Structure 1
Amino acid sequence: MNSSEADLGRIEAQMSTDVSHGQRNNDSSQNGGDGATPPTGDTESVPDYLTNLSLSDFVALPGEDVQMMTPDILSGMSNGNINCLRRLRSQETPMARLKSDTGDSVLHLAATWGHLELVKEIVNECPRLLLEPNSSGQTPLHVAAHGGHTPVVKVFVEVVNASASLCTEESQRLNPYVLKDEDGNTALYYAIEGRYKEMATLLVNANKDAPFLGNKKGISSLYMAVEAGEVSLVKEILKTTGNEDFEVRKSKLQGSKHLAHVALQAKRLDVLDVILKEYPNLMNEKDKDGRTCLSLGAYTGYYDGVCNLLEKSKESVYVCDEDGSFPIHKAAEEGHEKIVKKFIKSCPDSKHLLNRLGQNVLHVAAKNGKLSISMFLMYRESTTHLGVGQDVDGNTPLHLAVMNWHFDSITCLAMKNHQILKLRNKSGLRARDIAEKEVKPNYIFHERWTLAVLLYAIHSSDFESIESLTRPVEPIDRKNNRDYVNSLLVVAALVATVTFAAGFTIPGGYISDAKEKNLGRATLATNPTLFIFLLFDILAMQSSVATICTLIWAQLGDPKLIRESLHVALPLLLFALLCMPMAFLFGVITAIAHVKWLLVTISIISVVFFLWAIFILGPHVMLQRSYVSPSFTGKFLMKFMISKGLSECFVLLIRLCFFCCFCWCCLC
């Protein structure tokens, strides 16, 4: 305490001289190193409520007892009642001793509710409360900043600037700007978190060190400002570093130092430009996930950010992450085709970059099933050779696509370059060998679909004989197979019931006139469309009945019998399900043939539905059969993939129509 008392005596003497002149010298408070940086201007008058300030009051005397606030005092301070403060004076109650249950002083309460005049009175009476923490470790400056009370924060800054004691290294603990609460947060952190821009700028100008202090989570105020996209505030903070060396500036920043990554994630290019101007070496530094800035932009698909970084340094394209991947690999991994194209256009050599597994950009795209990038690379003359590239294990992009059952990528990889089908990896396996080895005996759609598409590509290349695109499905789980067979039985029974009933409710009705020779017969018996209706109705009913009869055999539990029954029943049920809507269509045509516009509309809708039903149910049936034609089934599967894309576009169009109708209704 002797050295501290000596310092206080020296500082108090200095302060008394300053106060006697009514001014505060700007340079004297700035030269204290880690202390407060005063506002701009050569001199500034000391506010009236600080003229009686005694600097020794900033240090709490040892051995003081804490006295709990009474409800009246707590209520009066929370309500900003200055009369309550006057009563305390009249009773000579020591203000510094009063605490609430949560450790708040009277200054905490006044600052929490933003009672400016009460704050001034308390600071003038007991300035050391400005440095007094509550049970959460927060000073009044913390609570004022957290509550967004900028005028109160201005008062605290004036108090600090009026005290030369806060400008000495020995009294660093008396600097409220750098004091942290139990979470490690400074008052500036709360100001930025609450988006109180004026307050945050005030605190930044008051102290140049606080923005760089990190909390317990490793988050600094500068980090928060970058994440919030406050470009002017970031400039103010970085301005305080002056012309310091990069390593010196970086060493001052506590916690996370990945500022450029944060700006990129926030999609704030203006902040990113400011950061990289002051910290250019952050361009190629890696974040906690081992990614450079360019890799992060490519991974997240932020095209504008990638373009911005490429303008600053194209060399970043050739800087790999900790996992050995390059930015172009990250873009391909996530399917960002536009960014991959930008990399290849700006840095043509980037397409040849290999990761630690020896995989090029096409390997990565095929491995992750990114069809659009695979198509772009395979159908581009300068990159089509990437398809025959082999990684450290000898795998081509086709091998990797098959290993991960990405059947979409197989069409462009295998159909564009048949040579890739012959290549073997270091284990001596072709893509076909891997597919046939890894495919499960039970029905897994994407696995069987991948095998079928691959075999069709081999069949189309004519370098190997293919007898069938599928292999038999082996029932494994007896309970699941029984449930599956029962489901098919229910569907077949419903089709049989509906089509049986439709045969006796013929469109057009029956002749009811007793004078007619054909009493009780169909009135439109000679109408061709009625004949077609009856034909499809009978076919649907008989096929569904045949399905029921076949599936009865599957109930016996013989695994081989189940497989053989399904091979017969599934095509029959598919045929019945297709005949039923066709019968309905011609039944409706029979009834409304005279209304041409309605006839055309219904016909178009029915044709679209019929094709959709074929492409939905067809693969389910074909991929379970023990033998299917390579030519017919392969072409069907290719058309299915095309129709799949068209169906998605059709669904998006319907959603757009509904959205437009909804908006129109809202406007009306």
Structure 2
Amino acid sequence: MIHGSQDFSQSGGDGATPPTGDTEFVPEFLTNLRLSDLFAVRGEDVRMPPWIFSRISDGNKQCLEKLKSHRNLMARLKSNTGDSILHLAVIWGHLELVKEIVSECPCLLLEPNSSGQTPLHVAAHGGHTAIVEAFVALVTFASSRLCSEESERMNPYVLKDEDGNTALHLAIKGLYLEIARCLVNANQDAPFLGNNKGISSLYMAVEARMVSLVEAILKTKDDEDLEGKKSNLESKIQGCKYLAHVSLQARSIGVLDVILNECPTLVNERDKKGRTCLSYGASIGYYEGVCNLLDRSTKSVYVCDQDGSFPIHTAAEEGHKEIVFEFIKRYPDSKYLLNKLGQNVLHVAAKNGRWSTSYLLMSNKKTEHLGVGQDVDGNTPLHLAVMNWHFESIDCLASSSKILKVRNKSGLRARDIAELEVKPNYIFHERWTLALLLYAIHSNGFEYVHSLTRPAEPLDPKNNRDYVNTLLLVAALVATMTFAAGFTIPGGFNSSAPHLGRATLATNPTLFIFLLLDILAMQSSVATIGTLIWAQLGDPSLIRSSLHVALPLLLFALLCMPLAFLFGLITAVGHVKWLLAIICIISLLFFFWAIFVLGPHVMLQRPYVSPNNAGFFLVTFMQYKTIFELIAKLIRIIFCGCY
């Protein structure tokens, strides 16, 4: 125990209110504390000798005993990084040594190093809970015995380092929840201070999803009205104030509940981009957070952002279809909301290429009528998809002749836009979009379609030359391999009369199929080489004509080659049934994959492609494109070891 009157007589604190004389329990290491030393002038720094640095870092108390006889010198010692002996003891977590240093030189508690960090910063950054608690006990003990002016000076909780971080910033950054809670209980103002980046400790706690800590920081009086809570919170927080937005970004319902329960008006706050909480949650696809906000407010879905978009548009723009349909389910009339361009939710999804959202909206009877909706320029969702060449959305948006016939204010249908805007050279997305749109028109049968493609013009001779040389190389490799395979027939050759030199399995039907496919592959590749030789003459029209012939021939050769290999294996190991079944399954999967990968490349470069079978092939490819992408990714993982 220590008597308050006795302590005050030691402190020499002028103007302090004398204690009442009651006794109180204090930590043992503070019983000999002299408050007059808290703000003592240290004098100039003295370079710390290596032996002191080493022994203090090791927690050697004998070294400290030697320094006690030179108290003024002890307070002035600094390492080459500006650390005092108290900093060093804190860094290495020597609690007892810290207590002895503090009792001898309490002024070191407020002394920063070259990075602007006090010992409390260092303790919080290192996660030394016991040391932080000891510092808090010292500050609490001293503050209760100092006058108001000196008590304000004795506040290490609000001191900032060179990055503007308080000790609480560093504790939260290190996820030291116990230390952070201790610091919050010690000082209620520190959590609202911003660092050099404008980030407060409260902001960091929300971002780190520390529910209990956020709740402790946001405690307010029960009799304070909601508007008072909001204004009080806004006036306290330095820097970023969008706490609800941050809790959504952190995907923490617990933190969001704490913030909005304490200050419900924050649900209407906007961030720097003018987005409401609901709009921001919809943009990042946080379904649980959006549902939470919808449960709290029935009007927020009708509040637009600064750019004129509603939350349902934001969800559609980012392709979060589950959130879009949550809006429509709860507020059926929200699908009629228009942004400043007069675009409904389907317009936004189509414009941004969100084909899955577009498909679900068009396949739902309650929302399929949005497909004929027109914006301020008279464009339907199909118009916008074509303008941006989002071919994935064409199949679902061009579902009826009514949509295909709609003209915008310029008098253009979706087909007119595609045919006018498609570039003369080969751009895959543009050619693909045009082909799918023309097939949709052909399927609805209201307009004649002669071909799904348009002739392309080579614009860059150098690139075309490189392309032709690549095809020549591939064709030459196929011809070489198939030529060699023709003389290495499965089963080998007879080595004795009367059929000397003839194929051993000449009567086997699978060998006949192998030879037939091998011959077709070789001859097609040779024909490809002969055709591409004409393309080397430099005539642009001749290059295009040669490619029209060479590409189908090379595709045919590439498909025949793996089939020939399959039948060659069947000839050799056909008696092993389980192995035969595995080989056939793998080969068929690869064959269909090759068709769907190489087919569109060849088909879309042809000057004339029939809209019947070719169109069905393109639509089928679109329907199973995701599966093909997964297969391609699997192949990359297996053979390349990467995604």
TM-based fold match above 0.5: yes
Is 1:107–2:91 an aligned residue pair?
Answer: no
SS at match of 1:145: helix
Q: CA deviation at 1:191?
A: 1.8
Indicate the larger mover: 545-554 or 296-305. 296-305
| Contact preservation (8 Å) 1:173, 1:179 | no
CA spacing shift, 1:156–1:438, aligned 2, 3 Å? same
Show the counterpart of 1:632. 613
SS at match of 1:442: coil
Is 1:442–2:393 an aligned residue pair?
Answer: no
Show the counterpart of 1:31. none
Show the counterpart of 1:458. 441
Quote the sequence identity (%). Answer: 70
Aligned mates of 1:50, 1:506 — CA distance in 2: 96
Show the counterpart of 1:82. 61
Indicate the larger mover: 432-441 or 125-134. 125-134
Q: Map 1:14-25 to 2 at 5 A.
A: 14=18, 17=19, 21-23=22-24
Q: Map 1:62-77 to 2 at 5 A.
A: 64-77=43-56
| Contact preservation (8 Å) 2:400, 2:444 | no
Could you tell me which of 500, 517, 520 is aligned with 1:536? Answer: 517
Q: How many residues align?
A: 624
Q: Which amino acid letter does the alignment assign opposite residue 417 of structure 1?
A: S
Q: Which amino acid letter does the alignment assign opposite residue 431 of structure 1?
A: A
TM (norm. structure 1) is 0.87
Q: Which amino acid letter does the alignment assign opposite residue 23 of structure 2?
A: G
| Contact preservation (8 Å) 1:615, 1:643 | no
CA spacing shift, 1:54–1:390, aligned 2, 3 Å? same
| Deviation string, structure 1 residues 348-395 (Cα, Å, up to 9, x no partner) | 122112222221111111112222111110011110111111222222
| Deviation string, structure 1 residues 226-271 (Cα, Å, up to 9, x no partner) | 1222111112111256654221122111111111122222221111
Aligned mates of 1:172, 1:412 — CA distance in 2: 68
Show the counterpart of 2:592. 611
Is 1:257–2:257 an aligned residue pair?
Answer: no
Aligned mates of 1:76, 1:653 — CA distance in 2: 59
- The CA RMSD over aligned residues, in Å, is 2.6
| Deviation string, structure 1 residues 156-201 (Cα, Å, up to 9, x no partner) | 2222222236672575233212222222211222222222222222
Could you tell me which of 304, 308, 318 is aligned with 1:324? Answer: 308
Show the counterpart of 2:623. 642
Indicate the larger mover: 347-356 or 120-129. 120-129
| Contact preservation (8 Å) 2:84, 2:113 | yes
Could you tell me which of 336, 355, 360 is aligned with 1:376? Answer: 360
Q: Map 1:234-633 to 2 at 5 A.
A: 234-239=214-219, 243-244=223-224, 245-246=228-229, 247-414=231-398, 416-514=399-497, 516=498, 518-633=499-614
TM (norm. structure 2) is 0.91
Aligned mates of 1:598, 1:227 — CA distance in 2: 56
Aligned mates of 2:187, 2:153 — CA distance in 1: 14
Q: CA deviation at 1:93?
A: 4.3
Which stretches in structure 2 are left out of the alignment for 5+ residues? Answer: 1-10
Show the counterpart of 1:177. 157
Aligned mates of 2:483, 2:27 — CA distance in 1: 98
Q: CA deviation at 1:553?
A: 0.8
| Deviation string, structure 1 residues 544-578 (Cα, Å, up to 9, x no partner) | 22211111111100001111111111112222222
Q: Which amino acid letter does the alignment assign opposite residue 69 of structure 1?
A: M
Q: Which amino acid letter does the alignment assign opposite residue 206 of structure 1?
A: A
Which stretches in structure 1 are left out of the alignment for 5+ residues? Answer: 1-5, 24-44, 659-668
Aligned mates of 2:198, 2:210 — CA distance in 1: 20
Could you tell me which of 171, 176, 192 is aligned with 1:196? Answer: 176
Aligned mates of 1:522, 1:118 — CA distance in 2: 93
CA spacing shift, 1:597–1:47, aligned 2, 3 Å? closer
Aligned mates of 2:221, 2:115 — CA distance in 1: 31
Is 1:142–2:125 an aligned residue pair?
Answer: no
Q: Which amino acid letter does the alignment assign opposite residue 349 of structure 2?
A: A
Q: CA deviation at 1:452?
A: 0.6
Aligned mates of 1:146, 1:394 — CA distance in 2: 60
SS at match of 1:369: coil
Q: CA deviation at 1:277?
A: 0.7
Is 1:205–2:176 an aligned residue pair?
Answer: no
| Contact preservation (8 Å) 1:208, 1:240 | no
CA spacing shift, 1:531–1:273, aligned 2, 3 Å? same
Aligned mates of 1:642, 1:508 — CA distance in 2: 42
| Contact preservation (8 Å) 1:314, 1:347 | no
Indicate the larger mover: 65-74 or 338-347. 65-74
Is 1:151–2:125 an aligned residue pair?
Answer: no
CA spacing shift, 1:520–1:314, aligned 2, 3 Å? same
Q: CA deviation at 1:417?
A: 2.3
CA spacing shift, 1:92–1:615, aligned 2, 3 Å? closer
Could you tell me which of 11, 14, 27 is aligned with 1:9? Answer: 14
Aligned mates of 1:331, 1:122 — CA distance in 2: 59
